[in-house]
Amino acid sequence: MRRLLFSILALGVVSIAAIGATRAYFTDTEAVAGNQIATGRVDVELSEQGTTVIPINVADILPGWTSQVYTIRSTNVGTVPLKYAWSAQFAGDNGALFNTLNVRMEDDALCMGTQIWQKYPVPADPVFGPFTAAPDGDPLSGLTMIPTSYLNLSVGQAGCTRFTFTLPVTAGNALQGKSTTFNLVIHATQVDNPGFNE
């Protein structure tokens, strides 16, 4: 009798398990299609402004003379706000003239000529300095400028930087007939980058 009772109980457990295993459930699945993630793009474009023709070509400068004003327009053609700084990259000759020239850099937020121009070096006099100076402490080498007022360009915005070059009155005969070649380089990065490197 006891054996029969255990057999019936075992058969019941197996039957319940079998019923549970064959039971059907209704389900549904939905998908969110077309998902996409894209990165932003930092992109600054340089062009001449006003009567300036780039690249810049200064001829026959003499001791104590200052060149005309050369204005370069920087436009944010990317997809995110950016900040920028300039540097000069020495490209050729023995470096004597490059290391002697003084440069004045000024910045105009809207390229209107009506804004307050930032002076280089920032913020103290003299209003110009040699290419090899980096008085604002920025890690970029050579000529640098980080304007305090017009550092940022929103998407689609343009800013202008104007340059003048002066040969110091102390330039002697060793520089007579010399020339120098250099690149003016704009460095752009997203505005929340604490520096200018990746």
Q: What percent of the chain is predicted at pLDDT more than 90?
A: 26
| Predicted pLDDT at 119 | 43
In tens, the pLDDT along 151-160 reads 688 999 998 8
Per-residue pLDDT, averaged over 45-63, amounts to: 91
pLDDT at 130: 58
Rg (CA), the chain: 34
Q: Which of 64-73, 97-106, 111-120, 149-158 shows the lowest mean pLDDT across its residues?
A: 111-120
Domain ranges of the chain: 44-190
pTM for this predicted structure:
0.72
Over the range 54-92, which residues count as b (16 or more CB within 10 Å of their CB) and which as e?
eeeebeebeeeeebeebbbbbbbebebbbbbbbbbebee
Condensed to tens digits (0 to 9), the pLDDT of residues 3-51 reads 655 555 555 555 555 555 688 999 999 999 998 988 899 999 999 988 8
DSSP 8-class letter at 142: S
Amino acid 191: pLDDT: 87
- pLDDT at residue 1 greater than cutoff 70: no
